[in-house]
Structure 1
Amino acid sequence: MSPSSPPSGPTRLSRRAVVGAALAGAAALTAIGPARAATAAAPRPPAHPPVPPTPLPPLDVTALRTAISDLAHPEATGAQLRVTGSAGSWYGTAGVADRATGRPVREHDTFRIGSITKVFVATVILQLAAEDRLVLDAPVQRYLPGLLPSAFPSLSTTQLLNHTSGLPDESGAGVPDLSTPEAIARHRYDRWTPEQLVAQIASGPMKFAPGSKQEYRGINYVLLALLIERLTGRRYGEVIASRILRPLGLRQTSVPGKDVRIHGPHVHGYLRMTDGSLLDITDYDQTAAWGEGEMISTTGDLDRFLTALFSGTLLPRPFLERMCTLPAGVSMIDGSPARYGAGLQTVTMNGITFWGKTGERYGYGSFMVATRDQQRRAVFSFNPTHRDATQVQMTLRVAAALTKG
């Protein structure tokens, strides 16, 4: 992509297709909750009304190990799974972190978390709302004047959070076709500004009236990250660090910005090329994802984040409830039931309801999920060599093992 043109329509559409396939498979287990700065020393009341305990089967360690060890379906180079909570704990790995050295995956290895970034963004937005720095149901154009075309209807921050905005598909004359692994490799160091990301939706028609349907869209969270910057006068990554990462001690979680590398011990991502070779795709400019998917973390840090969210450390009760409330009377654009709250998504597997978020970047796939009562939390990371709908096979298999009776 050229730095002067907006990012790719095909790129965005293919990514949405991957996510949609995962969700349709009932395994794109999703994200959970917002947050307020974790600075108060006084204990907080519970973040939500008491939730009846979820009847959970004991952990089936054999099933968990089997689920992550099959690195052929889909093809992946490594995997790690952390399961915690009052109903039992387990951690396991499979494969290698680095094919060049043969080093195995280790507990503190970092990885790209993709769209799990959205949970951090949603958390900060709801913190700001709890502090009366924005009105969630007011037009977002009030806070971001001139950014969206004047012909667009009013959109609320809530509609961005829960993917009911109806914003147009991405398009533009400078959009490259990233349909082959070779094309992906050529464009791995392209750099974008958030304004360029927004510009790619400026010429298209709205998909539907805001608030009438639900469609998962990364651009919603690019706008939310811009909103954080407008309200605070600081880079959104700095705000996430000051409000969430440092207070919770998430020392291995970062917002890379323009840094294409992952520093310290980390898991490498790989891309299967047309000739059958594997390309190390770890170094990659994440500015095309920005507020929708650029962060880096570990399974341990994400588990601590989940714990803080559900424990009420980060948000007052009404705002956490927004994260776990689906919009009434709204279906997905394909007619299936709505599944996104204000930053989170829900899925029920084998009678057990989780809230969480999936994430993916080239060479990386992940999810973090938990039951509301925290009997079971899980953070999973794996390294698929193809970025397509086959990724859902691994997610489904692990989800089934987590809930096996």
Structure 2
Amino acid sequence: MTNSPVRTARRIFLAAGCAVLVSVAAGTLPAAAAAGPRPSPAVAAVRPSDTAALRALMAPDGVAAGTMVRVGGPGIRWTGASGPLSQDPAASFRIGSITKLFTSTVVLQLVGEGRLSLDTPVQRILPGTLPAHWQPITVGQLLSHTSGLGLPCVDPAHPGAPSPAEVIAALTDPACPAPQYPVTTQQYNGFNYFLAGMVIERVTGHSYAEEVQHRIARPLGLRHTYVPQAGDTSMPTPSLAAPAEIEPWAWAEGGMISNAPDLERFLGSLLRGRLLPPAQQRELFAMPALSEGGKDRFSRGGLLRGTLRDGTVVWGKTGSMYPNTNGVFATADGRRVLVYSYTGVGNDPGEQRARAYDLIEAAF
């Protein structure tokens, strides 16, 4: 059956693990924080997690067939799993668009080394990749989802999981709409991170997978975190359940495999300044002007910002690889970190967003 343009764009996004609806979920948390007291983040960061609420949310129901949760911080180390998911707290899973945090971290490291800047045009690093008549798109605009890129309207040339170059070729096909200028708001778009991965490879001369291992996984001792090769559908043992028929490779946009302990260590280390120089560390929390008023709230460094009902601010990322929905969030000081993954059931995006909200609220 031939895919329509809409189905094509949706298939690529789902295969890449972008999960736009769920990624937006944590970004829309400010809308739920209109009422109630707003204690300081320092106070909120050390209060106990509501483990009773977490247990109740993890019970299999019409929203999630099974849920894994890990919460870490001073005085707390709480893990649990329900339903058909592995009960091993170190089970691996496909992290989907959480991969983007690894990508943005590598880019910011390269910026700190002076090998490029957030203001460097992508066209200068990757000449010929984007149409000549497009306005310059900067590296920083890729990380903060302010590039104005849209969705592809044609199939990539590859019949299976397309290569990054094939994805971008489909995105920039003359039949597809060009970015609309001026860009007036943030718009979450996984294709920004295909370009960011290509930037990493061109600047370093090494593969994206090698850079992630060299710069992040090995220094932090993340033994279960890696970028699979194209066509590799295998999973480590133990792992959370995942269907075999999907095309999981989505590279720098959403293709990595990790586990809850590794993700906790990664985000905590990132927020505490172990991976970036001071100037780039500030970019992690700097919010671009275009984030104001938008439903997607991404920092210049690619972190998703959410404000809970009591005013607590959390930073992190969501990501999905069908049928699992994942997230990793922490307070700015990295003293409380939540990792979750659940197997969604049903097709109600509102219910799925609400479950993600509730897990985050209970953990912090």
* TM-score (structure 1 length as normaliser): 0.78
**Matched residue of 2:318: which SS?**
strand
The answer to whether the 8 Å contact 2:103/2:197 transfers is yes
Paired residue for 1:383? 343
After superposition, the CA RMSD in angstroms is 2.8
- Write out aligned runs for 1:2-401 (5 A): 8-12=8-12, 17-19=20-22, 22-23=25-26, 25-26=28-29, 53-56=42-45, 57-69=47-59, 71-76=60-65, 78-86=66-74, 88-97=76-85, 104-172=86-154, 174=155, 190-202=160-172, 203=174, 204-209=176-181, 212-258=184-230, 259-269=232-242, 281-282=243-244, 284-287=246-249, 289-331=250-292, 335-336=294-295, 338-350=297-309, 351-385=311-345, 389=349, 390-401=351-362
CA spacing shift, 1:240–1:348, aligned 2, 3 Å:
same
CA spacing shift, 1:242–1:117, aligned 2, 3 Å:
same
**Matched residue of 1:391: which SS?**
helix
What's the CA shift for 1:402?
Answer: 1.8
Task: Report the AA paired with residue 87 of structure 2.
Answer: V
Q: Give CA-to-partner distance per residue, 1:239-266, whole Å, 9 cap, x none.
A: 1011111111111111112201112211
Task: Report the AA paired with residue 376 of structure 1.
Answer: R
**Matched residue of 1:242: which SS?**
helix
The answer to whether the 8 Å contact 1:355/1:369 transfers is yes
Q: Which runs of 5 or more residues in structure 1 are unaligned?
A: 29-50, 98-103, 177-186, 270-280
The answer to whether the 8 Å contact 1:260/1:283 transfers is no
The answer to whether the 8 Å contact 2:188/2:296 transfers is no
Task: Report the AA paired with residue 154 of structure 1.
Answer: P
Distance 1:23 1:359 in 2: 11
Task: Report the AA paired with residue 256 of structure 1.
Answer: P
Distance 2:96 2:296 in 1: 24
**Matched residue of 2:237: which SS?**
coil
The answer to whether the 8 Å contact 1:68/1:394 transfers is no
Paired residue for 1:45? none
Paired residue for 1:40? none
Q: Give CA-to-partner distance per residue, 1:267-295, whole Å, 9 cap, x none.
A: 112xxxxxxxxxxx1453333x2211000
Distance 1:242 1:13 in 2: 28
Aligned residues: 344
Distance 1:210 1:297 in 2: 38
The answer to whether the 8 Å contact 2:298/2:305 transfers is yes
CA spacing shift, 1:221–1:95, aligned 2, 3 Å:
same
Task: Report the AA paired with residue 69 of structure 2.
Answer: L
Distance 2:251 2:30 in 1: 24
**Matched residue of 2:160: which SS?**
coil
Q: Which runs of 5 or more residues in structure 2 are unaligned?
A: 32-39
**Matched residue of 2:269: which SS?**
helix
**Matched residue of 1:8: which SS?**
helix
**Matched residue of 1:208: which SS?**
coil
**Matched residue of 1:153: which SS?**
coil
Task: Report the AA paired with residue 248 of structure 1.
Answer: L
What's the CA shift for 1:190?
Answer: 1.9
CA spacing shift, 1:243–1:401, aligned 2, 3 Å:
same
What's the CA shift for 1:318?
Answer: 1.3
Structure 1 stretch displaced more, 393-402 or 160-169? 393-402
The answer to whether the 8 Å contact 1:67/1:401 transfers is no
CA spacing shift, 1:212–1:342, aligned 2, 3 Å:
farther
What's the CA shift for 1:95?
Answer: 1.2
The answer to whether the 8 Å contact 1:79/1:105 transfers is no
What's the CA shift for 1:326?
Answer: 0.9
**Matched residue of 1:138: which SS?**
coil
Distance 1:17 1:369 in 2: 17
The answer to whether the 8 Å contact 2:20/2:188 transfers is no
Task: Report the AA paired with residue 58 of structure 1.
Answer: P
CA spacing shift, 1:223–1:95, aligned 2, 3 Å:
same
The answer to whether the 8 Å contact 2:98/2:319 transfers is yes
The answer to whether the 8 Å contact 2:71/2:78 transfers is yes
Q: Give CA-to-partner distance per residue, 1:289-321, whole Å, 9 cap, x none.
A: 221100011100001101211221100111011
Q: Give CA-to-partner distance per residue, 1:367-403, whole Å, 9 cap, x none.
A: 1111012332111111224576242232122122123
CA spacing shift, 1:25–1:162, aligned 2, 3 Å:
closer
CA spacing shift, 1:330–1:312, aligned 2, 3 Å:
closer
Aligned sequence identity (%): 36
Structure 1 residue ranges (4+ consecutive) displaced by more than 3 angstroms after TM superposition: 12-17, 329-332, 335-341, 385-388
Distance 1:16 1:84 in 2: 25
Task: Report the AA paired with residue 221 of structure 1.
Answer: Y
What's the CA shift for 1:132?
Answer: 0.6
**Matched residue of 1:245: which SS?**
helix
* TM-score (structure 2 length as normaliser): 0.86
Paired residue for 2:37? none
